[in-house]
Amino acid sequence: MMRIGVSACFFHADPQRAIFKGKTLLYLVQDVGQWLLTQGVMPVLIPTLPEKSGISLQDMVGELDGLVLQGGSDVAPESYGERALKPEWTGDRKRDIYEISLVEEFVRAHKPVLGLCRGLQLLNVALKGTLYQDIPSQIPDALNHRNWDIYEQNFHQIDLAAGSALAKLYPGVKTATVNSVHHQAVKDLGQGLSVQALSVPDRVVEAVRLNGDNYVVGVQWHPEFQNPQDPKLLSTIPLLEEFLAAAETRSSMHA
């Protein structure tokens, strides 16, 4: 059985929290775990490493076949050389450091990486790109990419880039509908990345892929939140199957 590592979402230590007072919690969004389990693979939440440990990051990556970067908190502007324009956009620098280290190690090991929503943004920053801290205030005439009241039921269309790997994954599909739960977006594209899809009509980056042999893909939507049987939405299945096929190939090479 393949084992897919999943980067953790963080609840940082909070002395005012009613449960686990003052403790840092790492968690897996249920939808992500179940999305992977539908394909018969085991999701493994990757912990942070203590300063003194008998297990290295390389050891952990060696036991896993691929990496999924979950959505969640903002990427810290500090991680791409900026200051937060508002206090609420400070982001999670500690999580950034943890996830960038994971991306670097999985890429070094030539194991596939799939970023979901924040995960796309994190990949872009890990590859020396930058972000718009807030779409509504920094991109004129942008769509509403995040509606808190309806959350994952907020949808918009995307154009798949002609000739891209994403377009080849969905033959015959030029424009599709996906969900949208984000207020940050790619500004300067990371090194080696190519744009795979853009939102319609405001042209916000919706999918990226690393050029070359390593499978490194990010999508701005949450495929794990979408109903795979809904014909109105871009199917989640080809994307997941392609990622897992890349993971299986790497696993068989090291069997």
Catalytic residue numbers, as ranges: 117, 222, 224
List phi, psi (to 5°) of 46: -95, 120
What does the pLDDT read at residue 147?
96
How open is the CA angle 246-125-157, to the nearest 5 degrees? 70
pLDDT in tens, 105-115: 999 999 999 99
Give the separation between CA 223 and CA 246, rounded to whole angstroms: 18
Q: Are 92 and 73 in contact (CB under 8 A)?
A: yes
What does the pLDDT read at residue 255?
55
Interval 53-75 mean pLDDT: 95
Give the separation between CA 106 and CA 113, rounded to whole angstroms: 7
Instruction: Domain count for the chain, please give it.
Output: 1
Residue found under tokens 């990419």: 145
Interval 91-113 mean pLDDT: 98
Interval 88-109 mean pLDDT: 98
Interval 12-39 mean pLDDT: 95
Q: Are 183 and 147 in contact (CB under 8 A)?
A: no
Report which residue type is found at 184. Answer: Q
Q: Three-state DSSP class for 25? A: strand
Q: Are 7 and 116 in contact (CB under 8 A)?
A: no
Assess whether pLDDT exceeds 70 at residue 104. Answer: yes
pLDDT confidence tier of residue 224, bands split at 50, 70 and 90: very high
Interval 143-155 mean pLDDT: 96
pLDDT confidence tier of residue 132, bands split at 50, 70 and 90: very high
Query: What does pLDDT average to over the chain?
Result: 96
Give the separation between CA 188 and CA 128, rounded to whole angstroms: 9
Query: Can you give the residue range of the structural domain that contains 9?
Result: 3-253
Residue found under tokens 């939140």: 225
Q: Three-state DSSP class for 66? A: strand
Give the separation between CA 69 and CA 31, rounded to whole angstroms: 13
Interval 23-44 mean pLDDT: 97
Residue 74 belongs to domain with CATH number: 3.40.50.880
Q: How many CB atoms lie within 10 A of CB 208?
A: 28
What does the pLDDT read at residue 53?
82
